[in-house]
Amino acid sequence: MTVTSGETHPSKDHKMLYITQFVNGQRVQETYLVRKINVGKTKAGKDYWNVVLSDSTGTIDGKIWNPAEPSIGNFDELDYIAVSGDIQEYKGELQMIIHSASKVDPSMVDQADYMPSTKKNINRMFGEVLELVNSVTTPYFKELLLSFYDDPFLATEFQKHSAAKTVHHSFVGGLLEHTLSVTKLCDHFAQHYHNLNRDLLVTAALLHDAGKIFELNDFPANDYTDEGQLLGHIYIGAHLVENHCDKIEGFPVVRKNELIHCILAHHGELEFGSPKKPALAEAIALSFADNLDAKMETFFEAATSHAVDGNYYHWIGFNKFLDSNIRKTSPEGFEGMIKT
Amino acid sequence: MTVTSGETHPSKDHKMLYITQFVNGQRVQETYLVRKINVGKTKAGKDYWNVVLSDSTGTIDGKIWNPAEPSIGNFDELDYIAVSGDIQEYKGELQMIIHSASKVDPSMVDQADYMPSTKKNINRMFGEVLELVNSVTTPYFKELLLSFYDDPFLATEFQKHSAAKTVHHSFVGGLLEHTLSVTKLCDHFAQHYHNLNRDLLVTAALLHDAGKIFELNDFPANDYTDEGQLLGHIYIGAHLVENHCDKIEGFPVVRKNELIHCILAHHGELEFGSPKKPALAEAIALSFADNLDAKMETFFEAATSHAVDGNYYHWIGFNKFLDSNIRKTSPEGFEGMIKT
Amino acid sequence: MTVTSGETHPSKDHKMLYITQFVNGQRVQETYLVRKINVGKTKAGKDYWNVVLSDSTGTIDGKIWNPAEPSIGNFDELDYIAVSGDIQEYKGELQMIIHSASKVDPSMVDQADYMPSTKKNINRMFGEVLELVNSVTTPYFKELLLSFYDDPFLATEFQKHSAAKTVHHSFVGGLLEHTLSVTKLCDHFAQHYHNLNRDLLVTAALLHDAGKIFELNDFPANDYTDEGQLLGHIYIGAHLVENHCDKIEGFPVVRKNELIHCILAHHGELEFGSPKKPALAEAIALSFADNLDAKMETFFEAATSHAVDGNYYHWIGFNKFLDSNIRKTSPEGFEGMIKT
Amino acid sequence: MTVTSGETHPSKDHKMLYITQFVNGQRVQETYLVRKINVGKTKAGKDYWNVVLSDSTGTIDGKIWNPAEPSIGNFDELDYIAVSGDIQEYKGELQMIIHSASKVDPSMVDQADYMPSTKKNINRMFGEVLELVNSVTTPYFKELLLSFYDDPFLATEFQKHSAAKTVHHSFVGGLLEHTLSVTKLCDHFAQHYHNLNRDLLVTAALLHDAGKIFELNDFPANDYTDEGQLLGHIYIGAHLVENHCDKIEGFPVVRKNELIHCILAHHGELEFGSPKKPALAEAIALSFADNLDAKMETFFEAATSHAVDGNYYHWIGFNKFLDSNIRKTSPEGFEGMIKT
Amino acid sequence: MTVTSGETHPSKDHKMLYITQFVNGQRVQETYLVRKINVGKTKAGKDYWNVVLSDSTGTIDGKIWNPAEPSIGNFDELDYIAVSGDIQEYKGELQMIIHSASKVDPSMVDQADYMPSTKKNINRMFGEVLELVNSVTTPYFKELLLSFYDDPFLATEFQKHSAAKTVHHSFVGGLLEHTLSVTKLCDHFAQHYHNLNRDLLVTAALLHDAGKIFELNDFPANDYTDEGQLLGHIYIGAHLVENHCDKIEGFPVVRKNELIHCILAHHGELEFGSPKKPALAEAIALSFADNLDAKMETFFEAATSHAVDGNYYHWIGFNKFLDSNIRKTSPEGFEGMIKT
Amino acid sequence: MTVTSGETHPSKDHKMLYITQFVNGQRVQETYLVRKINVGKTKAGKDYWNVVLSDSTGTIDGKIWNPAEPSIGNFDELDYIAVSGDIQEYKGELQMIIHSASKVDPSMVDQADYMPSTKKNINRMFGEVLELVNSVTTPYFKELLLSFYDDPFLATEFQKHSAAKTVHHSFVGGLLEHTLSVTKLCDHFAQHYHNLNRDLLVTAALLHDAGKIFELNDFPANDYTDEGQLLGHIYIGAHLVENHCDKIEGFPVVRKNELIHCILAHHGELEFGSPKKPALAEAIALSFADNLDAKMETFFEAATSHAVDGNYYHWIGFNKFLDSNIRKTSPEGFEGMIKT
């Protein structure tokens, strides 16, 4: 929602009206993010605009029948606009007939209202990442990690980025949340299997998806960059980390190669885009942690988005990433009930 | 080694002479396990015996040129025999010319000397398993687990069995060691991902390979049983656990199906012998823990058996189960040295 | 059709009006099965119901514009309702405007009118199954088979069940029809290849899909059960048969394992859900009979449903289960004509 | 054995001494087929010959230490030679020290003694084929079949040929035996599934492997021809049959295409060398019959060659063609015994 | 366009009005090709016709509300009709309301206006083919090639045919264009790799897709024939070429087999429909040339059809045949600009 | 051969005695490269050495029965040693009994005598590469290429390196020969398909295997480096080229990404180690040129090494890299002869 006052710019204590709250017949005055603009023609041959509006909860089609009217200001895709409109049902879907629209400065809105975001606290998670960095005792690894987390650009992007365009962790803070989870799993693996080199494994885990900062745009776009599509986050990250290593005095070459190997091999299989299969125990452990976290998050996101009616344990259907039909486990006390 | 005295039965404080310690020209008086007996013919047309002897460190071919001599007693495959013989090199391999051989009662030997065995303490590991059983708070799950671990036959077999014929954990106590490791990983996953049902996951982990008790013979044979080859441990275990569940009053049917599903799906993929892909979050978590433990143990077994000359970090070669060339990570302080 | 008289319950000699017989403009008074109920909203904001009606020939959308009217009684999904309505074309599809609807007791209808059903005589097919049971001369196999076919629940379900939700034999009596066909093929294979153990093969064939009784609901739902999705008919059937075997005195363990193996392996490949590949000649023969019957039935169902205009040999298109474009063979006397 | 008398040519009632009957120390005078000749050098630098001799039961290595001696006549690979020699054991294998060797005219031997051959009666099997030809009522199909079976060259080759170099049916009469078995299975399928066009199916079955006559040499070589390796029996057979069809007046083009399709598609899958997947019900049925017969024969050949010691039901081991470990089914009355 | 005058048959110098030139509200009088005719029913129950019209640039839906009116003549699918109608927008797509329609003789139209066609000059390309034929110096190969290119039917079809129904080169002259391109690549390969037999390679290249003449119908249908679907162009072409070879005196059998092998193997892999993998260097080279030309043409067709707005280097999206997301390379001078 | 005089160091005009020229009983005095040294024990328990000697034509086993004798100097693996010895046949293989051995300085030998080497002229090939560099007209591409070919280390290594450890081009100059061949093919593709960006394609071709300089050791070892096994030449090369690009002023970022993409994607498929599938037309063309050259060279190397007896066109057998049985094409004039 916008953080300034005015007719179309609600005051700070104004409660944001989210798109999923709309009902048929409602009149709406609120600020939304413009995802797409298409120009159509009415049967009478007049231009009209179809505008996809979004916030963090979803999207809605908006119609501007008279784009030339003075109440309709100039705006473009990925702008925020304050709109006044009416909600109507059309062919079973709600849409908004937009009467007025004016561009709002991004600084005036709380972007969290417009982008799906991690449910966890970003500052607290980043604090946990820094604690893990500090727990690394090998000097050259710690220096390498600090060269990332002390870099203002990288540190900021690392906290804001999603970890994917669609699949799992595709929200603000997703890269941070996924990286922290994978690193904590790796930390545990290093306790469970004493033969693992903890500092190598934790460093590789913290940096394994660094290339995603350049593979995906920032929100709100959150789409693949040209570089990302051509090169992929595995190469981008390995290349970036290797160049960081080369600036650190005394970084052993053998250890650098082991670290870069872990990053290159973290997808586990050639057909998943790793140019090398894991050859080191740490590379195997990292690929398991990464894959497990992706699968668990995918599962729980699918299960959450499918929750209906207090019925917690129906079949969710086929999940492409998990390559299986999935179902929630029945909760305690409900073992006798099942809806198939 | 044998635990009684006598010419061919060394006293208890006699130090076992292991097969890997043999040198060319050595005279040997010790007790070994007979793996195989084949009858050959000398060029002169006389029968001789080729006898494969083994202990926990390896095997050696033994020749009995005159099986009819009184110094050669009766014995069969998988018997223990006290032998007197000479070590000779033949075509680059050591062999033993056996002068006398007499059967030894199995109760007289410390079987641990004759079978590869876990490096860990079996009693302590089984104690940890019982602690995990006690940590399960759902009454029907705990009752189910106790119906296994209180059953003298199952409890004994569970502690003695290997987890495989060859690949990984193919030693006495291997099933216990693998089960404990997988369960502890699952316990951690349940802490890491709060949406997991810990009791279901820990119960499934403890029972996931129960069918192996019937799929493989006891040591020293440690080979697939007829039942094991026809039905496989996945079906055998699921069938066994389901029948145990059905004897427990009030075991919810839905929960039983979820548990059996976890066992059926624990290989993760149809092509690895699971008749169902994991559909529950707990089934996914269990399949990861099982797979990770198998891969880590395979890696460390390969790395250990390949350690030579204080050179800790050479390439080990292609490992079929890991489907990759593998290499030990360079140890601390040796980062500059590498033998490729 | 309903088997009692009354305004909405046509008398026994009333000829059922099937859904595929509807024409635009027709007034209909008949009883149908309710598949689905969805509540919609008119543009004016009023609730209306969309009701999917079905009989054995197909389905139609029904509209109830005023669900609150007294002529509309209470009913739920999978109820039978006697309706009065008008058939209209809308966007190229027929629909029914429903004026009155009242629930009908299932005992009052001939369920065969409402569910797709085998074209063959169920009693006669079951008689053939019993003859095959009687042809088995090994006492323990015959006793096992009778423990199934003499069990009232199993025998009834076996005759009513479909063999699948969609693919092939997805109709009342489908499980019986498929089982009989597979068993007769196996009987022939045992004559053709004398090395096959006929009694083992015929017994395995008769029981190979027994688990489907629990994997799928009865008609009219005919959907996967929770148990069916979690465990699958292969495990369910093997587990059930093994427990039946264990109640028969003197059933040899080796033979039981061979029988259970045939059931576990009957899909032929791990990736088709068999946890074991066929290891016995009988298991191979059974997997061929099962696969051939599934493919032939799929082919003929596709060919039948595609028959148009007396043109018997056009290309039917790509069939996913057969993984091929398919075409009817040209009939005798029509070899010169082809429509591509 | 040779059918003339003489020192090295035993008389007709002389009982052939088969290679599998040899024992260490035996003196042998008999005629064998020369498979391979290699020239070696003794340590003293002298040439010697290593000659692989064969009969229908197996092969043995023969040594000719002095090839220049007058007792050693001229001969070449695939010649028959009458030898005199001594059987010796060397490194666990028997070999023959050959003292004299002279070429024998092929017309003088009963070739059946030197080539593995079908256990069944070739004349009786060919009679069954002709009965099946006569059972075809469609005139153009019968004319086509007679154009094959009345052709002296094709009819002779068809009866003598093997069906493969190694896998299954790799013996004299194998092509005939396999073709007859497949055709009888197809005949049964046409009775079982009434929608199948029996004459098309039976004709396709009788001709499906016709190309093998040109893909493999005659015995004793029984190796792939150059044409066979370059083109394969599927193409060769389809091309041959199509040219035969084109010589028959009134053979409908559509029917010819259906028949050629069945031949092209009889391996069932592109990756098994069929350039088209089966699109007709008859093509599916034929591919099943062909595959089933290949699998059953492979199984029974493996089981027979592995029979030892009256123990009829041990595990045979991994069979590559069946892609599975295989085991004989336990015979009647032996259900309690098993050797794993 | 039609090449005669008259109200609905514009004169030769009349400029064809192409379908992609239509705008909303336009009145059209022109001749188009009828692709499909479907009969619908209005809400009032009256029949109307939906007619898909096409020319070389695209297709449009036409409505004939009163098919019975005298202004609507008789015509069928794949006829040309001269129409008078009005262009209207309906649900975002243009359609034509047809007022009059009369069949036009195909000889009266320039078929090039109605079918997608190669951008290159067919005569010039065929001239290049004949030059390549003349460059072949081996007499029997040249005689074989002339037996094709001097055959009026084959030569005509070869120039008119497409090389595919959809994927790449699916336009008039496509078979010629693809064949010429593949042959020129092969000619270059023979210069680059001196070990290749140029005449064999060039001959195989010129004939490799000869079977497509019978696998696909002529334009305008350009659909798979019954023969094409049952047998495929690989078999059809190999069979045809072999029969041509057999009519040439002195064509060496070995060389014929090598040539037919190249044709059979030109798809490179069994799973792409070649019944044999390439065994000769020339067969490998041909399969590369064929595959490269198919991929390049697919790429450039996709890139061309996607060109918008002067932005030459956006991402085109996923291409199924190339199994990859694809993007145009940025043009010279635009390296700094990219739209992702 | 060694380039100085002396008893064991033959003079420059001394003709090298190659290993493939050895015959049984020969006395040898020549210099060879030591590939491997293993220590064995005689039956008497004395140490002896087994030494693998090599030159550019092959390898031979050498025995040093008395390593402690003064005639045996010190040397290590990959040293050159001047030996005096006798050739003997043992179990069908030749071996050398070494009487004296002394280390020779590498500068004293013509390394070309000891390493398999390209048959082509390295200087002339490198000249062709420089011509191709000069033909590139885009300034930043030419500057990039010169930064490689003007770098003394890279230019030298590029000319000496093999392109593989085993498969194809595994000889001195192999990387240069393969790179030149691929680049010339790409140059031709750019002429054949005008839409390709020639400078991008030629630059990518010249640099595509640059990473092999670091993936493989120099001859004589020619084995994978630790870095090579951990990271692979695809990543190493892309990383190296990107860092070179970044040092060139005005290298457009978009163009750099396109170039790096071509290098990353040049194996064509993820399962062949490319982390990205080709997305640009130039990347597709490069992957074809690379693959074609590898396949052709593999074919011709296999065909050459298999040439025997003037029989030029036998079947060579199964080639793993080509995944096919292969055969030489019959030479002109020999079409009628074939040995299968």
Render pLDDT for F196-211 as a digit per residue (tens, 0 to 9). 999 999 999 999 999 9
> Does E6 score more than 70 pLDDT?
no
Cis-peptide, bond into residue D220, ω within 30° of zero: yes
Q: Tell me whether residues C227 and B257 touch, CB distance under 8 A.
A: yes
At C106, phi and psi to the nearest 5? -55, -30
Q: Tell me whether residues B41 and D24 touch, CB distance under 8 A.
A: yes
- Residues from chain A that touch C47, judged by Cβ atoms under 8 A, are none
pLDDT winner (highest mean) among C52-61, E278-287, F318-327: E278-287
Q: What is the pLDDT of residue B42?
A: 73
Q: At a CB cut-off of 8 Å and minimum separation 6, what does C83 contact?
A: C8, C28, C29, C30, C31, C32, C53, C62, C96, C98, C99, C100, C101
Average pLDDT along chain D: 88
Count of Cβ atoms closer than 10 Å to residue E134 Cβ:
11
Q: Do the beta carbons of residue A102 and residue A89 sit within 8 Å?
A: no
> Does B309 score more than 70 pLDDT?
no
Averaged pLDDT for residues E106-121:
87
Q: How confident is the model at residue C149 (pLDDT cuts 50, 70, 90)?
A: very high
Q: How far apart are CA D275 and CA E211, in angstroms?
A: 13
Number of B–D residue contacts, CB under 8 Å: 19
Q: What is the pLDDT of residue B265?
A: 98
pLDDT winner (highest mean) among B331-335, E93-97, F32-36, F265-269: F265-269
Q: How far apart are CA C185 and CA C292, in angstroms?
A: 9
Q: What is the pLDDT of residue B56?
A: 84
Averaged pLDDT for residues C93-109:
92
Q: Which of C105-109, F37-41, F306-310 has the lowest mean pLDDT?
A: F306-310
Q: Please indicate if any CB of chain C lies within 8 Å of the CB of D314.
A: no
pLDDT winner (highest mean) among C308-322, D238-252, E50-64: D238-252
Alpha-carbon distance E324 to nearest alpha carbon in chain F (angstroms): 6
> Does A315 score more than 60 pLDDT?
yes
Q: What separation, in Å, do the N-terminal and C-terminal C-alpha atoms of chain C show?
A: 41
The distance of Cα F91 from the centroid of its chain, to the nearest Å, equals 31
For residues E232 and C59, the model is more confident at E232
Nearest to B72 by CA among B112, B99, B94: B99
Neighbours of chain C (3+ CB pairs under 8 A): A, B, D, E
Q: What is the pLDDT of residue C199?
A: 97
Q: What is the pLDDT of residue D98?
A: 96
Question: What share of chain D has pLDDT > 70, as a percent?
Answer: 89
Which contiguous run of DSSP H or E holds residue B189?
helix B174-192
Q: pTM for the whole thing?
A: 0.87
Q: What is the pLDDT of residue A3?
A: 36
User: Number of C-alpha atoms within 13 angstroms, CB side, residue E13?
Assistant: 0
Averaged pLDDT for residues C242-267:
96
- Residues from chain E that touch A224, judged by Cβ atoms under 8 A, are 340
Q: Do the beta carbons of residue C47 and residue C40 sit within 8 Å?
A: yes
Q: How far apart are CA E316 and CA E302, in angstroms?
A: 8
> Does F116 score more than 50 pLDDT?
yes
Q: Which of A256-260, B219-223, E236-240, E261-265 has the lowest mean pLDDT?
A: B219-223
Alpha-carbon distance E207 to nearest alpha carbon in chain A (angstroms): 36
Q: Which residue in E326, E332, E337 is closest to F279 by CB distance?
A: E326
Q: Tell me whether residues D231 and E270 touch, CB distance under 8 A.
A: no
Alpha-carbon distance E248 to nearest alpha carbon in chain F (angstroms): 15
For residues B308 and F124, the model is more confident at F124
- Residues from chain C that touch A340, judged by Cβ atoms under 8 A, are 217, 223-226, 229
Q: How confident is the model at residue B286 (pLDDT cuts 50, 70, 90)?
A: very high
Which contiguous run of DSSP H or E holds residue E60?
strand E58-64
Q: Which residue in A45, A223, A225 is closest to E25 by CB distance?
A: A45
For residues D190 and B169, the model is more confident at D190
Which residue bears the tokens 């599509």?
A229
Task: Spell out a b/e string for B160-183, using b for 16 or more CB atoms within 10 Å of the CB, else e.
Answer: bbbbbeeebbbbbbbbbbbbbbbb
Alpha-carbon distance B293 to nearest alpha carbon in chain C (angstroms): 22
Alpha-carbon distance E79 to nearest alpha carbon in chain C (angstroms): 18
Neighbouring-strand partners of residue B30: B83
> Does E7 score more than 60 pLDDT?
no
Q: How far apart are CA D91 and CA E334, in angstroms?
A: 76
Q: Do the beta carbons of residue C210 and residue C241 sit within 8 Å?
A: yes
F52: tokens are: 């693998």
For residues E214 and C117, the model is more confident at E214
Q: How far apart are CA B230 and CA B227, in angstroms?
A: 5
Count of Cβ atoms closer than 10 Å to residue E41 Cβ:
12
Q: How far apart are CA B217 and CA E337, in angstroms?
A: 69
Summarised one tens digit per residue, pLDDT across range E140-179 is 999 999 999 999 999 999 998 988 887 788 888 999 999 9
Summarised one tens digit per residue, pLDDT across range A38-47 is 887 776 667 8
Alpha-carbon distance A91 to nearest alpha carbon in chain C (angstroms): 9
Q: Which residue in B89, B327, B340 is closest to F43 by CB distance?
A: B89
Q: Tell me whether residues B230 and C279 touch, CB distance under 8 A.
A: yes
Q: What is the pLDDT of residue E166?
A: 75
Q: CA angle C289-C295-C299, nearest 5°? A: 145
Average pLDDT along chain E: 88
Q: Which of A101-115, C250-264, E306-320 has the lowest mean pLDDT?
A: E306-320
Q: What is the pLDDT of residue C43?
A: 63
Average pLDDT along chain F: 88
Q: What is the pLDDT of residue E159?
A: 94
Q: How confident is the model at residue D93 (pLDDT cuts 50, 70, 90)?
A: confident
Q: Which of B63-77, D139-153, F133-147 has the lowest mean pLDDT?
A: B63-77
Q: What is the pLDDT of residue B307?
A: 47
* Interface predicted TM-score of the whole assembly (ipTM), two decimals: 0.83
Q: Please indicate if any CB of chain C lies within 8 Å of the CB of D200.
A: yes
- Residues from chain B that touch F41, judged by Cβ atoms under 8 A, are 24, 89
Q: Which of A224-228, B10-14, C332-336, E81-85 has the lowest mean pLDDT?
A: B10-14
Which residue bears the tokens 């929770």?
C226
Q: How confident is the model at residue B13 (pLDDT cuts 50, 70, 90)?
A: low
Q: How far apart are CA D18 and CA D16, in angstroms?
A: 6
Secondary structure (3-state) at E241: helix
Q: What is the pLDDT of residue A14?
A: 65
Q: Tell me whether residues F40 and B92 touch, CB distance under 8 A.
A: yes
Q: How far apart are CA F273 and CA F269, in angstroms?
A: 7
Q: Which of B142-156, B195-209, E52-66 has the lowest mean pLDDT?
A: E52-66
Q: Which residue in D89, D325, D327 is closest to B43 by CB distance?
A: D89
Q: What is the pLDDT of residue E339?
A: 45
Q: How far apart are CA C282 and CA C138, in angstroms?
A: 16
Neighbouring-strand partners of residue A39: A49
Residue E222's region, left for phi above 0, alpha for psi from -120 to 50, else beta, is: left
Secondary structure (3-state) at E25: coil
Summarised one tens digit per residue, pLDDT across range B99-129 is 999 999 988 998 878 888 898 999 999 999 9
Summarised one tens digit per residue, pLDDT across range E89-110 is 887 678 999 999 999 998 899 8
> Does A10 score more than 70 pLDDT?
no
Q: Tell me whether residues B231 and C272 touch, CB distance under 8 A.
A: no
> Does F35 score more than 60 pLDDT?
yes
> Does D51 score more than 80 pLDDT?
yes
For residues B182 and E35, the model is more confident at B182
The distance of Cα A156 from the centroid of its chain, to the nearest Å, equals 14
Question: What share of chain D has pLDDT > 90, as a percent?
Answer: 64
Q: How far apart are CA D19 and CA D30, in angstroms?
A: 10
Q: What is the pLDDT of residue D13?
A: 59
Averaged pLDDT for residues A197-208:
98
Q: How far apart are CA E175 and CA E164, in angstroms?
A: 8
> Does E335 score more than 70 pLDDT?
no
Q: Which residue in A254, A328, A335 is closest to B336 by CB distance?
A: A254
Residue A232's region, left for phi above 0, alpha for psi from -120 to 50, else beta, is: left
> Does F220 score more than 80 pLDDT?
no
Q: How many residues appear in chain D?
A: 340
